[in-house]
Chain A
Amino acid sequence: MNLTLHVWRQSGPKAPGKLEQYEAKNVSPDQSFLEMLDEVNEHLIKEGKDPIAFDHDCREGICGMCSQVINGVPHGGQERTTVCQLHMRRFNDGDTIYIEPWRALAFPVQKDLIVDRNALEKIMQAGGYTSCHTGGVADGNAILVPKQDADYAMDAAECIGCGACVAACPNGSAMLYTSAKVAQLAALPQGQAEAAERVCAMTEAMQEAGFGNCSNHYECMAACPKGINVKFIAKLNREYQKALFK
């Protein structure tokens, strides 16, 4: 199939950006979206032009590196799918596709489709851990975790940190991301000791980094390639309230 692409090109964080038009020809329906872009880039290189810069790595939908807004939707809108797992069979011959970077105040554009997601690191560094030492911990079975709690923690832990939730949110909020970590550790006995400190520190870091607040649009959940549920945002709020009244 043949497609027309409009791709956001921006040479650096301070440079102005604009959409440029490219043709993608003879695209196979079995190609992934990134493989389609690879081929466009091969042509650009041969013409001596600057290829489109985009982030990608594992191409298995798990590293969270790829980040493109496709036709206005982070990761392209197929349910629970990263860009690398989006395949061209979801498009039709003759389609026009718009490709843009994640847009959020906290994610400055580095080049073309690549953004700086370091703000997410700051949230993790604020308290997304248990303060256990290496070695000298109890036997794994000495800490009993009911299956339901382990499953709940696992549902939250599936977050791959891609930032699609932020890109999808009209407020540029990182609450789904933050809530996933808070909820995971709050559900487990080993996360209890620091629960109050953790939720306060991570919430504060979120605000400092320039993310907006949640106003219940649920766009984050719709865009999340791992289907992280907004119930964890409720859990985040509850944990925060609990911490404030402590």
Chain B
Amino acid sequence: MILDGKCPKGPIQTSWDRHRFDLKLVNPANKRKYKVLVVGTGLAGGAAAASLGELGYNVEAFCYQDSARRAHSIAAQGGINAAKNYPNDGDSIYRLFYDTIKGGDFRAREADVWRLAQVSNNIIDQCVAQGVPFARDYAGYLDNRSFGGAQVSRTFYARGQTGQQLLLGAYSALSRQVKAGTVKLFARTEMLDLVVVDGEAKGITVRDLITGEIRTHVGDAVVLATGGYVNVFYLSTNAMGCSVTANWRAHKKGAFFANPCYTQIHPTCIPQSGDHQSKLTLMSESLRNDGRCWAPKKKGDNRHPNDIPEEERDYYLERKYPSFGNLAPRDIASRAAKEQCDDGRGVGPGGRGVNLDFSAAIKRVGEHTIRERYGNLFEMYEKITDENAYKQPMRMYPAPHYSMGGLWVDYNCESNVPGLFVLGEANFSVHGANRLGASALMQGLADGYFVIPYTIANYLAKTKPGTVSADHPECKKSVEDVKAYNNRLLNINGKKTVSEFHRELGKIMWENVGMARSEESLKDAIKRIPVLREEFWNNVKVTGKGEELNQQLENAGRVADFLEFGELMAKDALHRNESCGGHFRVEHQMPDGEAKRDDENYCYVGAWEFKGVDKEPELHKEPLTFENVHLAVRSYK
């Protein structure tokens, strides 16, 4: 099957405006007859629930945390992009569009990316109006800084906590709608199934994480904004609760999973210190504005970094990519760091680290200024490593950070299951094979504030409200299925804990489907994951009952889904016989080690259809065409 992304035809500059005019509207008096279920309350979900509530729809919003304010969007530190050109350095919607298409290594849809660049400007205005305290200059104007993959300063920021401040903006808008009664918020509630009636998404089955009650909520449309899946690697920068569960359960009910092998490994994370570790911590990419990356020139040089003289240091990013330097995009900077370590020139325990050095910047602008710019990051670094980065370089190593893949959606953010919309990191749409810095916040809010309010109306206008009630046979079946699934987990009573299985899966994924993949490593993963999965279903130990607060049961369900999803991710990586963005196949590289794309054969979105847990999934393709940015070898030299 050839998938249709339903992109508007004609000149791209007017594509979104024309499309928006063509979309059907729902009359204000009719809006309150519709109910929309929004799963996830991060930037995309929170913004969507607030916007739809304000438009007059009945919204029910769900999150697994105890408050909508705790979604993992909160942890994004660096900033949010917009094409405002306030600094007068040559930015434009076209340039942001161009940088994003190129940054994604030509594996994203042009029309979607154009829209993202266009509405990026509205986002800043929206957030300012909400009282987001963006950085300002002394004249009172908004301040900017630069980020990887761009040569202009288009990143707006709120100290090192931009994600938190933007999320609090969306959360405050959401709180306002809760008070107004248009949004009903269900915290500590996890989606465990999608209810599909006559081929359309009409409800979700959830578990109340406090009481353990399993129940179905019905609505006229379902919006998933449930974030990414890189916790499949066990160690990642994601919050502990981030999982693929909502997406995977929707996938099992018919939604296609697109480009699962595209994951982003972030170059600037604090290296792992031991096996006891539960997660990795990211240091903002903005640090590379002032921090210089280097490794010792000599192998096994274990002198204190401050004792290594200038001429014995290799500033490898500045050497290899002179025009972008330390601000080379994430996939490139990550691979370059790994290359140094693989070459035996890594620093710190186990040689898994490179230096991120601020001494030159401190000399240039003073410690005070550096403290003002990144103080909270330096503090965080010291808490974790017990090292003072004002006095010696930070140690950094790449870590799984973001998933560019996700459920397949068309230009309306609608999946192939009518009535199921997917926003933000949960969908696959705008980042291609690599996401540029400060673009995740942009996509979340663009989808939530400025896309879904228009496109969902087009679906609802063609839909009769309230056709399905909670006693529909599909709802009852869904509740029974979820209960049976959970009981199965609770009754295995084996010998290994859920975390042990997750760690083992993570090891397989990181070693075989991580930063560099080969046919051999991928085939190995595809062989080993089902074995581990089978062991899980025979030997996992989940304590407690279903009808109570049971964190082990929550985790067991999430890991069970990762054990199925990991296999699909490896299969997708195996079939894609090329290197692009975050997907690096060692067989496909240029003589200088850069990624080698194959546009002739792989210039498409790969969307997988679920056929059963131990059955081969079916691949559907959506060809990608590039009419505005011509396919070219990506170079940051």
Which A residues fall within an 8 A CB radius of B? 11-12, 28, 30-32, 34-35, 38-39, 42, 45-46, 48-51, 53, 55-65, 78, 80-81, 85-87, 89, 110-111, 114, 116-118, 120-121, 124-126, 128-135, 137-141, 143-147, 150, 153-154, 157-158, 160-161, 184-185, 188, 190-191
Contacts and interface: CB of A to CB of B under 8 A. Distances in A.
A129 B130 contact: yes
Contact of B125 (A11, A139, A191): A139
A134 B74 contact: no
Contacts of A161: 67, 69-70
Given A62-B164, A135-B449, A190-B128, A121 B136 contact: no
A144 B69 CA distance: 27
A200 B276 CA distance: 48
B360 interface: no
A137 B125 contact: yes
A125 B126 contact: no
Contact of B380 (A56, A61, A124): A61
B141 interface: yes
Contacts of B239: 57-59, 63
Given A63-B72, A145-B136, A140 B128 contact: yes
A134 B549 contact: no
13 contacts: A46-B495, A48-B543, A51-B551, A57-B65, A57-B239, A58-B72, A81-B383, A89-B386, A129-B173, A135-B449, A145-B133, A154-B158, A157-B133
Interface in B163-188: 164-165, 168, 171-173, 175-176, 178-179, 185, 187
Interface string B465-482: 000000000000000000
A190 B161 contact: no
Contacts of A135: 122, 126, 449-450
A141 B543 contact: no
Given A130-B131, A143-B128, A184-B133, A58 B274 contact: no
A32 B161 CA distance: 22
Nearest to A39: B276
Interface of B: 47, 50-51, 54, 65-67, 69-70, 72, 74-75, 84, 86, 122, 124-131, 133-142, 158-159, 161, 164-165, 168, 171-173, 175-176, 178-179, 185, 187, 210, 237, 239-241, 273-274, 276-279, 281-282, 379-380, 383-384, 386, 449-450, 453, 495, 497, 499-500, 541, 543-544, 548-549, 551-552
The 6 closest A-B pairs by CB, nearest first: A144-B140, A129-B172, A137-B129, A153-B133, A150-B136, A140-B128
Contacts of B185: 121
Nearest to A13: B210
Nearest to B448: A134
Given A63-B239, A87-B383, A129-B176, A141 B142 contact: yes
Contacts of B453: 134
Nearest to B163: A62
B382 to A, nearest CB: 10
Given A48-B543, A114-B549, A31 B128 contact: no
B276 A131 contact: no
A111 B74 CA distance: 25
B240 A60 contact: no
A38 B379 CA distance: 24
A114 B66 CA distance: 10
B384 A157 contact: no
Contact of A188 (B51, B131, B141): B131
A39 to B, nearest CB: 7
Given A143-B128, A157-B158, A53 B70 contact: no
Contact of A53 (B168, B240, B549): B549
Given A58-B240, A121-B187, A135-B450, 20 more contacts: A31-B277, A50-B543, A57-B239, A59-B278, A63-B72, A63-B74, A87-B384, A89-B386, A111-B549, A125-B178, A132-B130, A134-B50, A137-B128, A139-B125, A143-B129, A147-B136, A154-B165, A157-B165, A160-B164, A190-B130
Nearest to B137: A147
A60 B549 CA distance: 24
